[in-house]
């Protein structure tokens, strides 16, 4: 079977959020049809995709039918059961392959993988019982951050431990689930880099960007990062090493802490990333186009920076400020079509070209 997926073919996207929406828009520009699989009705991606199947990730009949109607499958978020992607991969190419998600959707497996790749993370230890919690506290010390191994994102599934005495309470708050305890890192900044890797193993990196979080949710991305002069090379080396070892086809986003001793990797995401939204207007090729190119067997395009940019997430009712940005000539508005605004929910973003 040829690795190349020709325009006119159908790209299956598991997940119906804003990342799926922007992937579907990029795919359409390149001549592809898209088919979304999501449990959610009226999802952001379904508004712009060719077809949508609304089904549960455990619904094997609906998944089989979906797989038979698409030419390649990709995914736009991480909390998809491994069995779902494995089942799809038995019928149609899944890119990146399900093993990549198996590693990156679990904090302990992810950190063990990063460490085994010779790349630094915050010191961490596994917690699965009162004994291992005590041992982890002895090894890591406080302050520390306790994080659930699974289903954690945007600060959900994590709790700060300032003294050994509040460790039990923190673990209780996380439902006594399997966790990692991480040393609290007094970073000078947070950063990320997005690497694209094609079918032949060739890679291209977008520049390192700086990410500013509010209440653990990304608020602003500054692209390129003011630290890029000093750390871009290290970030590229980290990103390429991890993408190669994972054998990713598509994108790998690497979130990092900037410290006086260099970069520490915090998290990986094998998909388009919020910190890459600025590339739609800021770069010659967006992260979404680059992902579609990779999974369809195209050669990657040059991701040169056209405009240094700032990306602002519109969280909750902040999206109502669209009228302000509508009169700002260098501001590009992206709204995700979500009918219900909740505090902290990502409703859209603005890219301001500098
Ligand atoms: P995460 O869910 O791992 O992406 O964490 C969400 C945010 O919590 C990060 O972007 C940081 O702002 C903060 N954070 C997570 N882990 C640590 C750590 N070990 N030290 C300091 N801050 C952290």
Any atom of ligand 1 within 6 Å of the Cβ of 190: yes
Instruction: Identify the CATH number of the domain in which residue 319 sits.
Output: 3.30.470.20
In a domain, 235, yes or no: yes
* Cβ–ligand 1 contact at 78 (below 6 Å): no
Q: Give a yes or no: residue 172 inside a domain.
A: yes
pLDDT at 215: 86
What are 172's two structure tokens? 């209780």
Residues 40 and 247: their CA atoms lie apart, in Å, by 30
> Quick one: what percent of the chain has pLDDT higher than 70?
99
Rounded mean pLDDT, 305-318 = 97
Do 166 and 72 belong together in one domain? Answer: no
Ligand 1 centroid – CA 137 distance (Å):
18
Q: Does residue 5 fall inside a structural domain?
A: no
Write down the mean pLDDT value for the chain.
96
Residue 157, C-beta contacts closer than 8 angstroms, at least 6 positions apart: 147, 148, 150, 151, 174
Any atom of ligand 1 within 6 Å of the Cβ of 173: no
Q: Is residue 137 located within the same domain as residue 233?
A: no
Confirm whether 116 is domain-assigned.
no
CB of 184 within 6 A of ligand 1: the answer is yes
100 occurs within a structural domain: no
Is 107 part of any domain?
no
Q: With a 6 A CB cut-off, is 216 part of the ligand 1 pocket?
A: yes
- Examine the domain organization and report whether 283 and 307 are in the same domain: yes
- Give the Cα separation of 282 and 303 in Å (integer): 9
| Residue range(s) defining the domain that contains residue 156 | 123-183
**If pLDDT is split at 50, 70 and 90, which confidence band does 1 have?**
very low
Q: What is the mean pLDDT of residues 158-185?
A: 94
The pLDDT score that the predictor gives to residue 3 is 80
Residue 287's H or E segment, with its range, is helix 287-295
**224-233 per-position pLDDT tens digit:** 999 999 999 9
Are 244 and 302 part of one and the same domain? yes
Classify residue 24: in a domain, yes or no.
yes
**Is there a single domain that holds both residue 205 and residue 345?**
yes
**Tokens coding 76:** 């736009």
Residue-wise burial string across 178-204, b where 16 or more C-beta atoms lie within 10 A, e elsewhere: bbbbbbebebebbbbbbbbbbbeeebb
Q: How far apart are CA 230 and CA 223, in angstroms?
A: 14
Cα separation, 354 vs 352, whole angstroms: 6
Domain boundary among 74, 94, 114: 94
Q: Which atom of ligand 1 is nearest to the CA of 107?
A: 3
Domain shared by 77 and 138, yes or no:
no
Enumerate residues 6+ apart whose C-beta is below 8 A from 204. 195, 196, 290, 300, 301, 302, 303
Atom of ligand 1 nearest to the CA of 186: 21
Could you tell me the maximum CA-CA distance found in the chain, to the nearest angstrom? 60
Q: Among 111, 266, 269, 273, say which to mutate for ligand 1: greatest number of ligand atoms within 8 Å of CB.
A: 266
pLDDT one-digit tens code per residue, 3-23: 899 999 999 999 999 999 999
The pTM of the full predicted model, rounded to 2 decimals, is 0.96
Same domain, yes or no: 201 and 179: no
**Same-domain check for residues 145 and 214:** no
The CB of 102 under 6 Å from ligand 1? The reply is no
Q: 107 alpha carbon to ligand 1 midpoint, in Å?
A: 12
321 shares a domain with 265: yes
Q: How far is the CA of 265 from the centre of ligand 1 (A)?
A: 10
Strand order of the β-sheet with 51-54 is 51-54, 33-38, 10-14, 72-75
Check whether residue 333 and residue 228 sit in a common domain: yes
Check which CATH number belongs to the domain holding 176 and give it.
Answer: 3.30.1490.20
Residues 143 and 202 grouped into a single domain? no
pLDDT tens digits for 260-296?
A: 999 999 999 999 999 999 999 999 999 999 999 999 9
| Span 248-260, average pLDDT | 97
Average pLDDT of the residues in 65-85? 95
Say if residue 160 is in the same domain as residue 204. no
Residue 60 lies in a domain: yes
Q: Which of 231, 232, 240 is nearest to 262 (CA)?
A: 231
Domains identified in the chain, total number: 3
Tell me the CA–centroid distance for residue 153 and ligand 1, in Å.
10
* pLDDT value at residue 154: 67
Mean pLDDT of 95-108: 96
Angle of CA points 174, 275, 193, to nearest 5°: 100
> Span 212-236, mean pLDDT?
95
Question: Does ligand 1 come within 6 angstroms of the Cβ of 155?
Answer: yes
Task: Supply the pLDDT for residue 2.
Answer: 56
CB-ligand 1 contact for 145 (6 Å cutoff) = yes
């Amino acid at each position: 079977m040829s690795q190349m997926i020709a325009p006119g073919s159908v790209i299956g996207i598991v997940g119906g959020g804003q990342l799926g929406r922007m992937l579907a828009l990029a795919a359409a520009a390149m001549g592809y049809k898209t088919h979304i699989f999501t449990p959610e009705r009226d999802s952001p991606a379904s508004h712009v995709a060719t077809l949508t199947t609304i089904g549960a990730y455990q619904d094997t009949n609906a998944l089989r039918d979906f797989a038979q109607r698409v030419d390649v499958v990709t995914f736009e978020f991480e909390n998809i059961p491994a069995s779902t992607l494995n089942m799809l991969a038995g019928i149609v190419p899944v890119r990146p392959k399900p093993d990549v998600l198996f590693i990156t959707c679990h904090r302990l497996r992810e950190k063990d993988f990063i460490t085994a790749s010779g790349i630094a993370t915050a010191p961490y230890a596994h917690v699965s019982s009162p004994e291992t919690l005590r041992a982890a506290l002895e090894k890591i010390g406080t302050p520390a951050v306790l994080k659930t191994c699974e289903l954690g994102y945007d600060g959900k599934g994590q709790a700060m431990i300032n003294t050994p005495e509040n460790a039990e309470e923190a673990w209780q708050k996380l439902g006594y689930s399997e966790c990692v305890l991480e040393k609290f890192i007094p970073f000078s900044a947070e950063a990320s880099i997005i690497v694209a890797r094609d079918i032949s193993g060739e890679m291209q990196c977008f520049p390192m960007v700086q990410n500013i979080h509010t209440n653990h949710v990304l608020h602003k991305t500054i692209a390129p990062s003011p630290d890029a002069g000093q750390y871009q090379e290290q970030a590229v080396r980290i990103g390429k090493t991890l993408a190669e070892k994972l054998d990713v086809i598509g994108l790998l986003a690497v979130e990092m802490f900037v410290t006086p001793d260099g970069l520490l990797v915090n998290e990986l995401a094998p998909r388009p990333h919020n910190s890459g939204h600025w590339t739609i207007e800021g770069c010659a090729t967006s992260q979404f186009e680059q992902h579609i190119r990779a999974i369809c067997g195209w050669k990657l395009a040059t991701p040169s920076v056209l405009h240094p940019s700032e990306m602002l997430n519109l969280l909750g009712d902040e999206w109502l400020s669209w009228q302000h940005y509508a009169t700002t000539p260098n501001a590009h508005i992206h709204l995700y079509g979500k009918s219900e605004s909740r505090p902290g929910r990502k409703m859209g973003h603005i890219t301001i070209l500098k």
